[in-house]
Structure 1
């Protein structure tokens, strides 16, 4: 079939059906272009709901897949590896351009297209019926304590998530079909791994995978972080100046920041909206706007979700996992799920009060977000603990007054299970120790939410250390996350945690896969390169160095790459590609050595995991990294 005939045939469908089909086909093409060697994403099952309902059900839908490069079989469409990238790109661009042209000509433009073309503004006349503000019930404050009054306000504000029109409007903006398709693929991959290793306990569902997909879409495709506004006068860089009191600015919000341009010195307003109808249009802000809108998205997906407010100026979301029977921490700003200790361990926050709010309950969830409950209690001075409990019970009873008895019993049982969870302090992992992603470095440093690692460790070798056969060894076990410095069977020093033994490191962390029971060091998600350097000082050793034996275990996947270099003052040696052992002789007059590992390359969304150092089972006591120094 020719291209013109195909487009004429596809154009017989409804505008909504065309828009959705082109969107799904474009996303399929984009996934293939991002990871062209992945045959899994080149196979589309006809039984898949997204493929069946959004593409194959349309007149000309199957022809679009054929034109894109897929070949039809009895149960699926498969794209051969020989299909050129150029042809995929060309057809996708043609299809999108055709869709935009007919929608423009027919004056049938989707809300997303209008936003992209700046044809719609918050609260303009033509969309008053669409973005009419949600009317919340009047609030009569019961408490005089400022903290408890804030709790009452938050408890009332979250009722907006239950507005059916607002949720329906939000759901139309979420690419549900595509996210469901991706989550099913993600779940299948996990299940396949579980079949290979029968010891794995994979207690997850499509909903759990869908939460991860929604977080990724929200972070990467939907919402935008704002540190400072671009100057609306000259396009230059601005900096926060002060809060506006001008009534002209205070429209639909009581908080408007004024950012002053560093070039033209003019002011640009940045309204801090809480009206969700406006946020669905502007799609930008900081953590308040992000968490507010993401929680709405979760409720639009019909999940039990609640807004979590931390007293020291951060907010996020919790979603209840039906399969796991527990609340999952979800931070849309960071695209992270189920790492609740990250704020205390990674951002250096002094947790005091963390309260979760939904239409049905209000809960003190502070204990989920701290590994030191005693320290937290010492900081809780906003009210007496019994006053807080009384307020929680009072507000919760008010919220649940109109609920059915079965629903009340379910919520009570769920609350009791959650309280039992809080009885045990959790221990932070390296995943929890990762710093904040969202916001500029200067902004995060001002807030004290990232930590600078200034502990540059140097392994100093002394003559007195050479107890056994003029030899010393430095070795690291990733499973136990510890170093040992020894001479023969004599342990001279032991260090806990991988970072305590390195001279410097960049964009790497120790990944612990609890499901697979593996540990390794890899790049941080989204980083192009990671690096670590170990430094040895030999200036305090009177004996001459004879040789160095290096054992450096690593694993690569796809085209992931690990480069290891051993350098002295005068020369450098590289670990041969694919080799993990190396002996260097004849370097007698050296005062120091450095061992540097660089982690690069990889493919797709998991590229950061495709170069791994010291990968080993958590039960292992072996040392995948060792340096043996032999002296004369």
Structure 2
């Protein structure tokens, strides 16, 4: 069937059905063009409700998939990797030009749908009618201050009005899988409450909101938003390198900043707009920390939470969410999936903080002190204006914004501010998880910014009481995200979360693939290498020494991924066999300490970081893919 016949068949549906099917097909193409090496976006499951009801059930829908190059299998459609990107782009343009009243007309206007990533790109490239694009329009701003730094605060505070837009919040809330996240939050809260009761721990007074916030952070990073170091070439899909900024006014319709990249292979120019319009970002779902934090802040506001956009003048941004249960603002960095670790930037990223300002539609606040454990040093670096001028400006801006609010609302905000100011006066020392380096962005980018740091974390110390009948084991389940220290007599000590049992790690995280229902440890997205190690030591009271080390260490590689595993102790080094998943050795007989060191590298394309995996298992599995068993003997 020719392309005209395919489009004619698709056109025979009603106007609304045709336009919806075109929108979905264009989105599928955009996902492939954006990440051509990602096998998941090239595979469409027949059982998926959108594929089944909005493509396969529509006249011409199946033919459109085949026209794009998708091959039909028993349960899915797969697009071969050999399919040229140029072919997809050509069919995409034809779909966008499809007019429901006559497919054979020449220049056909674009579908008048809500703004999407695909038609934004077409508008910019073809300079067509821009009236169809919905944009958030801010009221006029009259600057009150002459100081450039204070003017920046004024402009950012003005832009924060967008977070209060009710229509935008409704759009955002519809995108959140709230039922699933709430179910996960309830489950985790019950688990936490059980542990507190069983182990007689201090109750941290977490609420469902607090647990839901953690679920939202994870979902946002792993499933909703994508980090862009440099965009893939829009022509051939290969990597690009920065080539400056665009000054073309056609490119600057939706934003004042458009980065230009050139393909390393075909030299085609690809443009990457840095949008700050929330309506656009809900569709493009990609960018760097600015885009991430804006959309995450909007999502939090859409759930009815007080949330604000936090700007570090040294060039990073994140979110704060107010916990009603804990009566305080909670730091949330969606790029890092980090929650309540405000000292991480100073202690893990090595930032020399100066000004950190938080913005919401209702208030603006200097929150620098929450993010530093050395207030005196920070104060010495603040030279943009006097402290009195800054405080005075924030008061003026806050009072101006709140003057139309009810007296009760003003009173509530004032009381909350007083409590916050008291909190900000107290210096706090960093916890271990606030000493970790940055994970978002490419390794070279983070290294150049001095934001990668590795910290010693945990040593498994084996005491005499643990060695019963000359044996013990330590094992880890990725699905349960739990270690079990099993003594020789069968008694068990547990340690929750993978990171709390490792000695050292760099660019490593636990990945949940909820669509495939699997979980594993791998290197962080966008990084070239990752490393992780575990360390084991006998306490002085142990009267015996290690005899045999047995290790089960399940791992998987894809494409040309590499997993290197070594057992090391005082000059002794044993390589874990590459083709095996278990090892037994007496090479460490007589030692009192050793470590397991693992390097992850290799892989192909933008998802290379996924091609070297540790401990992959089904998300509901109760097996332990990492088991270290030790037997002991008397000293010689």
- TM-score, normalization: structure 2? 0.61
Q: How far 1:515 moved relative to its partner?
A: 11
What is aligned with 1:186?
A: 188
Instruction: Answer yes or no: is 1:99 the counterpart of 2:53.
Output: yes
Q: Distance in 2 between matches of 1:223 and 1:90?
A: 20
- Distance in 1, matches of 2:166 and 2:60, equals 30
- Quickly say closer, same or farther: Cα 1:202–1:262, change in 2 above 3 A: same
For residue 532 of structure 1, what is the aligned residue in structure 2? 533
Which residue number in structure 1 is paired with residue 157 of structure 2?
155
Residues 241 and 351 (structure 1 numbering): CA distance in 2 closer, same or farther, change over 3 Å?
A: same
Cα 1:130–1:593 change in 2 (3 A) is: same
Structure 1 unaligned runs (5+)? 1-14, 20-88, 456-474, 480-512, 537-546, 615-624
The match for 1:80 is none
CA apart distance, 1:100? 3.2
Q: State the shift of 1:259 in Å.
A: 0.8
Q: Which residue of 2 aligns with 1:521?
A: 502
The one-character-per-residue Cα deviations of 1:258-294 (angstroms, maximum 9, x if unpaired) are: 1122223332111111111111111111111111111
2:545 is matched with which residue?
549
Tell me, yes or no, if structure 1 residue 405 matches structure 2 residue 386. no
**Gap change, CA 1:380 and 1:184, over 3 Å in 2:** same
Q: Secondary structure at the match of 2:589?
A: strand
Residue range with higher mean Cα deviation, 353-362 or 547-556: 547-556
Residue 175 of structure 1 corresponds to which residue in structure 2? 177
Quote the Cα distance in structure 2 between the aligned partners of 1:612 and 1:570: 22
- Decide which of 303, 306, 311 is 1:304's aligned counterpart: 306
Q: Is 1:584 equivalent to 2:589 in the alignment?
A: yes
Residues 304 and 565 of structure 1, relative CA distance in 2, 3 Å threshold = same
- Tell me how many residue pairs correspond in the alignment: 463
- Matched residue SS, 2:502: strand
Q: Distance in 1 between matches of 2:334 and 2:53?
A: 31
- Counterparts of 1:192-591 in structure 2, within 5 Å, are 192-451=194-453, 520-521=501-502, 524-526=508-510, 527-528=521-522, 531-532=532-533, 549-550=545-546, 565=567, 584=589
CA RMSD after TM alignment: 5.0
- Residue 249 of structure 1 and its aligned partner are, at CA, apart by 1.6
Secondary structure of the corresponding residue to residue 328 of structure 1: strand
Question: Conserved in 2, the CA contact under 8 Å of 1:528 and 1:601?
Answer: no
- Superposition deviation, residue 377 in structure 1: 0.9
* Equivalent-residue separation in structure 2 for 1:478 and 1:147 (angstroms): 52
Q: Secondary structure at the match of 1:584?
A: coil
Q: Which residue is 2:108 aligned to?
A: none
Q: Which residue pairs with 2:106 in the alignment?
A: none
Alpha-carbon distance between aligned partners in 1 of 2:407 and 2:569, rounded to the nearest angstrom: 72
Larger CA Rg, structure 1 vs 2: 1
Instruction: Indicate how the Cα distance of structure 1 residues 189 and 120 shifts in structure 2: closer, same or farther if over 3 A, else same.
Output: farther
Are the counterparts in 2 of residues 155 and 358 from structure 1 also a CA contact under 8 Å? yes
Q: Distance in 2 between matches of 1:629 and 1:379?
A: 60
Partner Cα distance (1:612, 1:430) in 2 = 24
Q: With the length of structure 1 as denominator, give the TM-score of the two structures.
A: 0.62
Indicate if the aligned counterparts of 1:227 and 1:439 stay in contact, CA closer than 8 A: yes
- C-alpha contact 1:308 1:316 (8 A) present in aligned 2: yes
